[in-house]
Amino acid sequence: MTYLAIAIQILLFLVFAIGGTIRFFQPIEVLAKRMLWVKYFNPRIVRTISLIEVVCGIGIILPLVLTDSSFSFLFYSGCLLMATMVGAVVTHAIIGDYKQIFGNLLLLGIIYQVTFPVWV
């Protein structure tokens, strides 16, 4: 595996696992001030999305630690994160928060490249 792929996996871990943990423990009122989409969802849904990000962020980096595992952590975590990002794009388009769509599409592309590598 190339150094670039490892660096991207670590970056995705930081974005999703660390960012999801911060969003999981912050009060909903604080999140609603920073993120427009939080106002449109039940707080349990917001916490569930954060938890999915944390678990998938850890799953993205696990193949670097567990090299002999027969379970494809990277594939399943990547697919679930891609589904989450597609949902984020749709949500931002529906609520009219168009500035956020580019970042979600960028993350979606990066996750796709890590999940289905073309450089191997």
Domain ranges in the chain are: 3-115
> pLDDT per residue over 82-97, tens digit each?
999 999 999 999 999 9
**Residue 16, both tokens:** 């999703």
Alpha carbons 9 and 15: distance in angstroms, whole number = 10
Q: Does residue 51 register a pLDDT over 60?
A: yes
pTM (predicted TM-score): 0.89
Looking at every residue in the chain, the average pLDDT score rounds to: 92
Confidence of residue 119 (pLDDT cuts 50, 70, 90): low
Q: Does residue 1 register a pLDDT over 70?
A: no
Alpha carbons 57 and 85: distance in angstroms, whole number = 13
Task: Determine which helix (DSSP H) or strand (DSSP E) holds 62, and give its type and residue range.
Answer: helix 43-65
> pLDDT per residue over 7-37, tens digit each?
999 999 999 999 999 999 999 999 999 999 9
